[in-house]
Amino acid sequence: MAEPVLALEGVSRHFGGLMAVNNVSLAAREGSITALIGPNGAGKTTLFALISGFLRPNSGTIRYRGADVTSEPPHRMARRGITRTFQIAQPFAGLTVRENILVGAHLRHPARRAAIAVAEQIGHELGLGASLDRPANTLTVAGRKRLELAKALATQPNLLLLDEVLAGLNPSEIRDIVPVIRALCQRGITIVMIEHVMQAVMRLAEHVFVLAEGRIIAEGSPSQVVANPGVVEAYLGRGAAAKLGVTHAN
């Protein structure tokens, strides 16, 4: 089997006495969609911050395409092809949608004309074509999520870290955006996504890691993971699995 695009080995990070991420190892296969799920406060976003260079791990190594990238700053990660989105969309509020995407496009295209062309093309692809001239802060929640994706995509990443791009969307908006994410994967972009919307995880993810209290407590295909009593208990509390009749089927 080919070497994974992303491989974490024993990555830990604590804040004072709180072990936010505890000895986490995981891998993402090239061209796949990997989901990271877990209850609130499990350390998912911290883990993303570690992978994207916003935080440094206290121990462990992060490898990207075989190279050790542990503790590299975010801009260098982005240059390597790792781009993250934020759970709470972070638009450049005072700028238009086109200008927002342009910031990302400039990473690979120093010339203004080329960068604007790329930004507009990505804007159209993600259904923002009609709002390219609108200030980013006038977009709806769904629009902001799309913009968050467009900005990241403009950097032409190989590995995209999506932090809850579906959160806050209504079911029809989720239905609209799921194919967009699948299309990205078909273009060869490896995706790791944090997601609470299980319906989407089931439809999109090839492999799922479950994080609870900073540790990976389960992994496998989506259907394996939801049937895992340990996972059910992590979400609903001890004993919940027995009450719901989830057994060690696997």
Partner 1 sequence: MRGLAPVFAVVVVMAVVPLVGVSNVTLNFLVIALITALAGQGWNVLGGYGGQYSFGHAAFFGTGAYVTAVLQVRYGVNAWIAFGLGIGGGALVGAIVGGLTFRSGLRGSYFALVTLAFAEVLRIAASVAPITGAGVGTLVKLDLRPVALQFQSRAVFYWMILALVAVALIVTRLIERSRFGVWLIAVRENEDAARALGVNTTAVKLAAMVISGAITAAAGCFYVQYFLFIDSGLAYGTWISIEALLTPIIGGVGTVFGPLLGALVVRGLGEGAQIVTGGEAPGLDLVVYGCVLVLIIWFAPRGLIGAFAQLRNRVMRPARLVETGHG
Residues at the interface with partner 1 (CB under 8 A): 52, 54, 73-76, 78-79, 83-86, 90-96, 98-99, 102-104, 106-107, 110, 112-113, 115-117, 133, 151-152, 154-155
Length in residues, the chain: 250
Nearer to partner 1, 84 or 146 (CB): 84
Q: How far is the CB of 228 from partner 1 (least distance, A)?
A: 32
DSSP string, 169-192: --HHHHHHHHHHHHHHHHTT-EEE
Nearer to partner 1, 13 or 106 (CB): 106
Classify residue 228 as left (phi > 0), alpha (psi -120 to 50) or beta. beta
Alpha carbon distance 160, 156 (integer Å): 9
Q: How far is the CB of 218 from partner 1 (least distance, A)?
A: 29
Q: How far is the CB of 194 from partner 1 (least distance, A)?
A: 15
Closest CA to 64 of 54, 78, 46: 78
Q: How far is the CB of 161 from partner 1 (least distance, A)?
A: 9
Amino acid symbol at 124: H
C-beta of residue 85 within 8 angstroms of C-beta of residue 73 = no
User: What are residue 133's phi and psi, to 5 degrees?
Assistant: -95, 0
Angle at 48 between CA 47 and CA 53, to 5 degrees: 100
Alpha carbon distance 14, 16 (integer Å): 6
Q: How far is the CB of 113 from partner 1 (least distance, A)?
A: 7
C-beta of residue 211 within 8 angstroms of C-beta of residue 34 = no
Nearer to partner 1, 132 or 236 (CB): 132
Nearer to partner 1, 42 or 115 (CB): 115
Nearer to partner 1, 168 or 229 (CB): 168
Give the 3-state secondary structure of residue 74: helix
Q: How far is the CB of 126 from partner 1 (least distance, A)?
A: 15
Q: How far is the CB of 152 from partner 1 (least distance, A)?
A: 7
Nearer to partner 1, 150 or 241 (CB): 150
C-beta of residue 97 within 8 angstroms of C-beta of residue 149 = no
Alpha carbon distance 85, 69 (integer Å): 19
Nearer to partner 1, 107 or 202 (CB): 107
